[in-house]
Structure formats: C-alpha cells, structure tokens
Amino acid sequence: MADKYDVFDQLGELENTLNTTLTQISGIRQVLEASMTENATLRMELEKLRDRLAEFEKKEVKKETPKDQPNPNLIQIFNEGFHVCHLHYAERLAEGESCLDCLELLYR
C-alpha cells in the first residue's frame, strides 16, 4: 500500500512541475508575441522611412553657395563656440577666443 501512495505523491509532484513549466511557456509565448508585433511594426516604419528618404534624395537639389560667402553650417557651428578648422575641429573655443584657422576656413 505504501508504494501506491508514493506513486500518487510522485504524480502530484510531476503535475506541479508540469504546471510550472506550462506557466513559463505561456509567459515566454506572450513575450515572443509582443516582440514579433514590435518587430513587424518597426519593419513597416523602416520601410516607410526608406521610401521617404528615397523621395528626398530624388527631390534633393544641391544648393551651391557662392564662393565668396562662407558655409552657413560652419558659421553656425563656429558661433556655437566650436572650432571648425582641421586642426581642432569640434573642440570647444575658450571664452572670447577667436581662431585664425577657423576664420580663414570660413572666409576663404
């Protein structure tokens, strides 16, 4: 008779283990479904962005600045306090500092 109770105990333990495993599988499935949904959404957004970029590239007209005027992007960077010269590019200018290399590059 003791053997029958041991079998029932073992079956109960196995049932608990299987229920725990099933709960874990359900959790993993939910995470996987959420990831797949997010992945599909991101793929659609990426495709739209690629299409949009292709449109911009087709419409892009290169605007040439006259040679006697400095590049407006470099002027903006310089005015924000950063070097635009090759020697110290993107390094912060000291308070009130003016770099002759930067100025030469801007006004060539």
Residue 41 counted as an annotated binding residue: no
Residue 86 counted as an annotated binding residue: no
Residue 102 counted as an annotated binding residue: yes
CA 5 to chain CA centroid, Å, is: 59
DSSP code for 82 = B
Residue 4 counted as an annotated binding residue: no
Query: For residue 89, what are its two tokens?
Result: 């590019």
Rounded Cα–Cα distance for residues 74 and 89 (Å): 11
Helix residue spans in the chain (DSSP H): 2-59, 72-79, 100-106
Residues annotated in a binding site for Zn(2+): 83, 85, 99, 102
Question: Binding site: residue ranges?
Answer: 83, 85, 99, 102
